[in-house]
Amino acid sequence: MKLTGAQILWECLVREGVEVIFGIGGGAVIHLFDALPQYPIRFVLVRHEQAAAHAADGYARATGKVGVCIATSGPGATNLVTGIATAYMDSSPVVAITGQVPTPVIGTDAFQETDITGITLPITKHNYLVTRVEDLPRVVKEAFHIARTGRPGPVLIDIAKDVQFQETGFSYPDQVHLPGLRLDFSDDENVQAAADLLRQARKPLILAGHGVILSGAGRELRALAERAQIPVATTLLGISAFPESHPLSLGMAGMHGFYHVNQAIQEADVLLAVGMRFDDRVTGSPSRFAPNAQIIHADIDQAEIGKNIRPAIAIVGDAREVLSKLLQLVPPATHPEWLAQIGQWREESETDNPLNENHDGHPLPQYVVRQIWEVTQGNATIVSDVGQNQMWEAQYYIHDRFNSLISSGGLGTMGFALPASIGVQIGRPHETVWVVAGDGGFQMTIQELATVVQENLPVKMAILNNGFLGMVRQWQELFFNRHYSGTRLLGPDFARVAEAYGIPGFTVREKDQVTPILRRAMEIPGPALIDFHIHSEENVYPMVAPGRAISEMIRRNSYQTV
Amino acid sequence: MRHTLVAMVEDQPGVLNRIASLFRKRNYNIESLAVGHSETPGISRMTFVVEGDDRVIEQVQKQLYKLVNVIEVWDVTRMPAVVRELALVRVGCPPEQRGEVTELVHLFRARVVDVAPDSLIVEITGTEDKVDALLGLLKPYGIQEVIRTGRVAMVRGNHRSSEPTVSSPQ
């Protein structure tokens, strides 16, 4: 029996286990949409294609499965670009499907034609333009394989319109032939050498990144840390790889890492960095990063080894596999002096903690975040946006549940949180999902409130509203003599905007309203939005100025370089 | 330092674009690139000349490997290898100078492949130094047009090629 290209695409997706796709239709995918209702795939209609890519990304991060988004040719495809780049930078397995103008007119600047494979070349792991219906099954098979294999990432499939209605016999390949796609794993010698270093260490430290979450290595990480009594710091995307209330947990490192975290990195003698890539937001000045440490770098992507930091020992491999092997080789140990030293630094960190201060009037954002943690009993999945809100969330929500923070780290995409939360909530239908965003980022994709309502998703939304593009304003305050150029934001009444979409909306202007309103929002079975009018010039502290060593931090109390 | 890299890539549409895009995106400095079929159907062989220190070159190789269509990469810079470039040179040459130009060309084991009333086309194969040297000598006669292929390289000895230089992590 012959099937059309459109039918073949959906047959392939069903075989790949796809249950939901996010997108918007259009002329160049109209045949695909015509065939879609025949298949057991939920379609989520978003309001802008960027949101489709973020939702697919959020779904992928929340479930570990490949997220799928779809858009038409031309502007539909180009609108996906920010979302694809976000997924690429954060190694998220996404397959993006776009329609292309019919094969005979490709290259003629036809209506809604754009070279989307050319455009997405640098921001996809791989991409395809399908001009023959016979190629479609192989391409889909390869795309899903590439997206989820090794270091995950987005793959785009651009399908010419005529391919979608051409017919051919269908069979789905059971394996892929990709000689250039290799999975490396280091020799056991390297793992043994790493274990030896860890055994001899007096001040060991683990720095865990997103790779630990992507590989599902939470148990192995915890077992290794406990076995050898090694404290664990994380990157932003490594948050929730290790339970944050664990005595060995230090928290997030880097530009906005707490004093004790960065101090421990700078003093450590052996640093096991696993599933992370030494981003500049983590290392500060790379030449002055962890100056006393022999660094063991374990990552699944060989190209990350030596890219930013030269390690003493490199292990190429999946984080879970690496940690399992280390667990067998590293003997039990204790480091009482080292942990006591870190305990002292931790006390020092506490002197910066604004939650220890009395305040009234506008709530402090740190307090709002901590109260979200209280009312959710730490059980929520948080989807944070980008900027100050993201850092306050990272600092003051205590993530004990594995993979409970979803955020745009590498690309730092404002507007990520709301659309991503759609995918997260669909991927985790029985969990409480909270968006934590600023008033700036929220307005970048605010139209997705309609999708939340149409899909009946109980997403809770907290806007930390300071009337500024807050992180940029903070930089202007600290480094540009309070020259607030282009950062003052006039926002809408978010509660009334929410109400207009049919979502209960609340406004909180006083600290003592924070918890009662949070509780009310939690009691509402569907979505709810709270607009928190926070202190407008509150900053994220500590802060490491760009190019400085991570120990050179501007702290809340001193307001000067320590 | 200038490095010579050899890559085996799948012969598929857009592969050259992917590689060029990678070099541009990562800000690598490519001096020349030569592409052609290899001994295996469906596999093309590329020779790159890339400027950079060892650390950059290591990154170039690792990043090339990440491209799905790239199968193998070697850095042949420090290996015994046959390295060649081909150039065609149109040199201004009235009939009375044909003799001396042809003599120069023969000294370089190059060939005259076309003769026009006022010019010659010279074909030379050799290392870049050799090509440069001949071009230097032809310059006084008036070089009207030059096309150079860029470097191609093959490792000496009876092995087909050496082991890929970054396939196994160090």
Q: Tokens 């500060």 — which residue?
A: A284
The domain in which residue B41 lies consists of 2-79
Which B residues, 25 through 44, put their C-beta within 8 Å of a C-beta on chain A? 25
pLDDT in the model for residue B13? 85
Q: Is B66 found in the same domain as B31?
A: yes
In this structure, the answer to whether residues B88 and B52 fall within a common structural domain is no
Which residue of chain B is at minimal alpha-carbon distance from A149?
A: B68
What is the ipTM, given to two decimal places?
0.90
Answer whether residue B164 is part of any domain: no
Residues A128 and A163: their CA atoms lie apart, in Å, by 13
Q: Are residues B57 and B106 in the same domain?
A: no
- Asked if B91 and B71 sit in the same domain, the reply is no
Nearest Cα residue in chain B from A124: B67
Given a cut of 80, whether residue B141 has pLDDT beyond it is yes
Mark whether B142 and B105 lie in a shared domain: yes
Give the pLDDT mean for A194-201. 97
Average pLDDT over every residue of A518-542: 97
CATH number, residue B86: 3.30.70.1150
- Residues above pLDDT 90, as percent of chain A: 95
Any long-range contacts for A171-177 (C-beta under 8 Å, 24+ apart)? A171/A137, A172/A11, A172/A12, A172/A15, A172/A137, A172/A141, A173/A137, A173/A138, A173/A141, A176/A138, A176/A141, A176/A142, A176/A145
Considering only alpha carbons, which residue of chain A is nearest residue B73?
A180
Q: For the residues A474-489, what does the mean pLDDT come to?
A: 96
Domain count, chain B: 2
B9 & B58 share domain: yes
| Residue where a domain terminates, one of B40, B55, B79 | B79
Q: Is residue B31 part of a domain?
A: yes
CB–CB contact A182 B66 (8 Å): no
| pLDDT average, residue stretch B38-45 | 94
Most confident residue range from A45-59, A174-188, B29-43: A45-59
A420-447 pLDDT tens trace: 999 999 999 999 999 999 999 999 999 9
In this structure, is residue B165 part of a structural domain?
A: no
B66 found inside a domain: yes
From chain A, the residues in CB contact with B9 under 8 A are: 180
**Residue A179 in tokens:** 């000689």
| Residue contact B17–A302, C-beta within 8 A | no
> Is pLDDT at A98 greater than 60 in this prediction?
yes
Q: Is residue B140 part of a domain?
A: yes
Instruction: Examine the domain organization and report whether B65 and B100 are in the same domain.
Output: no
Domain boundary among B18, B48, B79: B79
Domains in chain A (CATH in brackets) are 2-169 (3.40.50.970), 188-349 (3.40.50.1220), 354-540 (3.40.50.970)
**Residues B62 and B131 reside in one and the same domain:** no
Note whether residue B169 is domain-resident.
no
Note whether residue B123 is domain-resident.
yes
Residue-level pLDDT at A358: 85
Distance from CA of A193 to the nearest CA of B (A): 12
Same domain, B9 and B63: yes
Tell me the shortest Cα–Cα distance from A491 to chain B, in angstroms: 37
Give catalytic status of residue A471 as yes or no: yes
* B61 and B88 share one domain: no
Q: What is the pLDDT of residue B167?
A: 45
| pLDDT tier for residue B164 given thresholds of 50, 70 and 90 | low
Q: Do A126 and B68 touch (CB under 8 A)?
A: yes
Inform me whether the pLDDT recorded for A190 exceeds 90.
yes
* Chain B nearest CA to A215, separation (Å): 19
SS3 B7: strand
pLDDT digits (tens, 9 = 90+) for A336-383: 999 999 999 999 999 989 999 888 899 999 999 999 999 999 999 999
Reply yes or no on whether the pLDDT at B77 is more than 80: yes
Residue B13 sits in a domain whose CATH number is 3.30.70.260
Shared domain for B96 and B147, answered yes or no, is yes
Q: Which structure tokens are listed for A247?
A: 């005595």
For A511, the 3-state DSSP assignment is: helix
Contact A117 B14 (CB under 8 A): yes
Together in a domain, B87 and B75: no
Residue B143 maps to a domain: yes
